[in-house]
Structure formats: C-alpha cells, structure tokens
Amino acid sequence: MRFSRYFLPTMKDTPSEAQIVSHRYMLRAGMVRQASAGIYSWLPMGLKVLRNIEQIVREEQNAAGCNEVLMPTIQSADLWRQSGRYDDYGKEMLRITDRHDRDMLFGPTNEELITDIFRREVKSYKDLPLNLYHIQWKFRDEVRPRFGVMRGREFLMKDGYSFDVDKEAAELAYKRVFVSYLRTFRRMGLTAIPMQADTGPIGGDLSHEFLIQADTGESEVFFDSDIVERDVFSADLSKPEAANEAFDYLTSAYARTDETHEQSLYEAQVPEERRRQRRGIEVGHIFYFGTKYSEPLNGLVMNEQGQEVPVHMGSYGIGVSRLVGGIIEASHDERGIIWPEEVAPFHIGLINLKTGDDACDQACEGLYSKLSAGGVETLYDDRKERAGAKFADMDLIGLPWQVVIGPRGLEKDEIEVKNRATGEKEVMSMGAVLNRFLGA
Ligand code: P5A
C-alpha cells in the first residue's frame, strides 16, 4: 500500500478527549473515529488490525472444534421474555420497536438465540458435544462508555456456546475452551492470566476472566510467574485427560485481591519469589451455567438412558474490538504503538527519505514491488513530506520493521533496517534486505 493513496489520517497532537494511551494512539494513528459516545467507525488501518485479531480468534476456535455461525444483531424480545432476562437486563439493553409494534432489541449477547437454534435442530446426545460461535457486533448501553474501544457501547465480540448432555461433559468443554483461549491470546503476542470471576447477568457458578497485563487495567491480579512461563499449551485438547490436566495446572495459583480466602490459598501454593501482582484488562470471559437457559427455553436432548433432559451449556466471550486497544496498552512506547508481528497491519514500513529524487524513487519502487509480489505486506511512505514527519508517523503506527532509503546511503548501497520493538538499527545492502524479508 502506498501511503499517498492510503486513508491514514494521522495526528501530531494529542486529542484531549482521550484519557489512556491506547485511545490516544488509536486516534492519532488514524485507526478509529468516534461516531457517537462509545460508538466508533473503523478506518482502514484500524480495520486491518481488527480483522487480523478476528482471524486468529477464528482459527483457534476452529482448531478447538467449534463451528462458526452468524446470528443477527437484532433479536426478538420474545425469547428474552422466556428466559426472564428481558426485564433483568435493564437499561444496558437497547430496545427497539418495529413498524408492527413488535419489541426487538440490539443483542448484548446471544444465549437465548443460540438456545433457540439448538432446540429446533438437536434432539439427541448423539449430536453432542457441540460448540457454536460467531463474531458479531454487540450493543450494551454502558453508563460510562470510556477509553475508546475498550469500553464501547457497540463492540465486536466472539461469543461461543457449548452444549453437552451432562455436567461432567460440559465442564470438560469449558476446560477445552479455557486452554484454547490462552493459546489464542498467546498467538497475539499476549500473556493472558486467567482469574476466577463473578458471573453477573450471564449467570452460573463457574467462571473465569482472562486478563492481559497493562498498567491501565481495571482489575488487580495475583499470579504464579511459573504458570505464564511454562508451556502447557501444546496439550492435545481432543484428549480429556490432557484438557483436565492443563486446566488444573493453569488454575492452581491465581487469585483476586478482594477475596481473603483465595489470597491465603495463593500464598500457601506459590513460593514468594514466584508471586507476581499486576493490573490487567479483561479481554475474555467464560461461563458454565448448566441449564439456566435450556430449562426455561426447552432446550432438551435425549440422554443415553432415553430420558429427555435440559442440555448443559456454557458461554465463552472474547472482546475482539477491545483487544485492539488492549494490545496497544500492553505494547507501546512514548513514540507510538509497537504491534506484535501477528496482528500488525503491515509487516514493513518502507520510508523514502527523498521522494522526487530519481535514485531514491527507483530503489523504493523496486523494493516495494518485490516485497508486494513476495506477499510481504508493506506500507510504502511515498509522500512528499519531511523525513522527520515520516519517521514520526512510522513510529506512531508501529509496524514491526522500518526500511529507510535515502540518497546518501544509496550511493554506497546502504539501507537502514530498524526493528520497531527493540529500536535496533542495521545497515545493509539492497541484496541483504531482499534476502532478509523474502528469503531469496
Ligand atoms: C460470554 C459470551 C458474555 O457476554 N455471553 C456470550 C458471555 N460475557 S461478557 O464478559 O459480558 O463479555 C465478553 C467479553 O466482551 C468484551 N466486552 C466489551 N468490549 C468492549 N466494550 C464493552 N462495553 C464490552 N463489554 C464486554 C470483554 O472482553 C468481555 O470479556
């Protein structure tokens, strides 16, 4: 992509409405613009990152045996009346009336709708276990939308739902998702810490939040450093023993601050030198709630004994749009964003220090077309701008690699390659640059 043709409206100055670093950088790097309170338009570079995150989530869900569906954003109120949540949900739910005076709503979550799909199609334990997920916009009329996309009113969520014939099978499904979530976040360059959680309006008695470490996080979490360092993620989740073992290991030593009981458990289990305390941002939340929805909504299946029983369910959420902000909170410096490779909007930022200079233009154009042909996503800064402005923009948008071509270096076949994360610079020939990024 050529910068001159890319819709990337960067800003030098710090927007006054943004209180936290990710919000400031998302606005300054031209990723999003506010449409109304807690509601955002995604501009090309923000959208690219959002899609990259979404794709990692999708691949890991599919790898864990989940099936992707797509349910609508607008739901009928009837199902929510059956589950009893129509009144319970209160003002957070955006209620809509259609032209026939029917009560509709913009979905804040989908437990009811997925149970409706299930009850129409699935009748027997033989069709279980089943896990259905979708990646769809939600609306929650938060009292205080803030921090940009981190606490929006409209936001993108991956929500998945598991169906099992009994509690034991349902708990195993829960554990599989649990481990697959840690893998998902790890692929995004994040270490997520699971923490026992309250269930709130979703309900149930078993629940975990997944927190990524960032100073601006809203929750405090204690954990065992050994857990985030040891690799239990390679467990084969199709094997019950492996999923059980990984889950037991990973949940053995986390605690939240406000619960004295857990605090002492944590201190009993974790040697002092491995105790860590951090602030965290909740990027995922999972629930096992048994028959809370299947009972009122008649989500029944025939079990092995030939009896009709309400199906056991869990639900599993990842804040896809929140993750865009969360990753920036976890990975930035005073000059801008530092994208982990896996979610970066482009791999390389190519800077032409003197657009209009024949030699520079030729070298940059040649490199840009070779990288593009080789499938290496490159943002080529071909604008007629001062070098300083180009450097500042490139640091701000945080692509993993910067390749800098200027007239003086070119005379000696010298190109500068900078790693955005470490700041390390290397000077190399055009041939070496091609070799580095194209392996040719
Ligand atoms: C689980 C999936 C649920 O809604 N039902 C379906 C369950 N859980 S949750 O914890 O309420 O939300 C799941 C994740 O969504 C993100 N999230 C938000 N992101 C941005 N703005 C918001 N206002 C917002 N609310 C929730 C969080 O990452 C949360 O973990």
Task: Tell me what the mean pLDDT of segment 416-420 comes to.
Answer: 98
pTM for the full predicted model: 0.95
Q: Which atom of ligand 1 is nearest to the CA of 283?
A: 28
Q: What is the whole-number distance in angstroms between the Cα of residue 287 and the centre of ligand 1?
A: 11
Query: Does ligand 1 lie within 6 Å of residue 142's CB atom?
Result: yes
Determine whether the shortest distance from the Cβ of 316 to ligand 1 is under 6 A: yes
Ligand 1 contact, 283 CB (< 6 A): yes
Test site for ligand 1: of 115, 134, 285, most ligand atoms within 8 A of the Cβ: 285
> Could you tell me the two tokens for 266?
């944590």
Provide DSSP, 166-221.
SHHHHHHHHHHHHHHHHHHHHHTT--EEEEE---GGG--SEEEEEEEE-TT-SEEE
What's the gap in Å between 147 CA and the centre of ligand 1? 15
Cβ of 326 less than 6 Å from ligand 1: no
Phi-psi region of 393 (alpha: psi -120 to 50; beta: other; left: phi over 0): alpha
Q: How far is the CA of 4 from the centre of ligand 1 (A)?
A: 37
Which of 318, 53, 313, 51 has its CA nearest to residue 181? 318
Distance 157 CA to ligand 1 centre (A): 7
Q: Is 313 in the pocket of ligand 1 (CB under 6 A)?
A: no
Cα(316)–Cα(197) distance, integer angstroms: 13
Q: What SS3 state is found at 333? A: strand
Q: Is the CB of 317 under 6 A from ligand 1?
A: yes
Q: How far apart, in whole angstroms, are the C-alpha atoms of residue 389 and residue 353? A: 10
Which residue minimizes the CA distance to atom 4 of ligand 1? 109
DSSP E strands: which ranges in 38-139? 39-42, 67-68, 74-76, 94-97, 103-106, 130-139
For the Cβ of 56 lying below 6 angstroms from any atom of ligand 1, the answer is: no
CA–centroid distance, 94 to ligand 1, in Å, is 16
Q: What is the pLDDT of residues 78-111, one digit of tens each?
A: 999 999 999 999 999 999 999 999 999 999 999 9
Provide the pairing of β-strand 312-319 with 308-310.
unpaired
Residue closest via CA to ligand 1's atom 21 equals: 151
- Convert the pLDDT of each residue in 287-329 to its tens digit: 999 999 999 999 999 999 999 999 999 999 999 999 999 999 9
Q: In this model, does residue 381 exceed pLDDT 70?
A: yes
* Mean per-residue pLDDT, 378-385: 98
Q: Which atom of ligand 1 is nearest to the CA of 140?
A: 23
Cβ–Cβ under 8 Å, residues 151 and 324:
no
pLDDT tens-place string over residues 324-359: 999 999 999 999 999 999 999 999 999 999 999 999
301: its two tokens: 């299946």
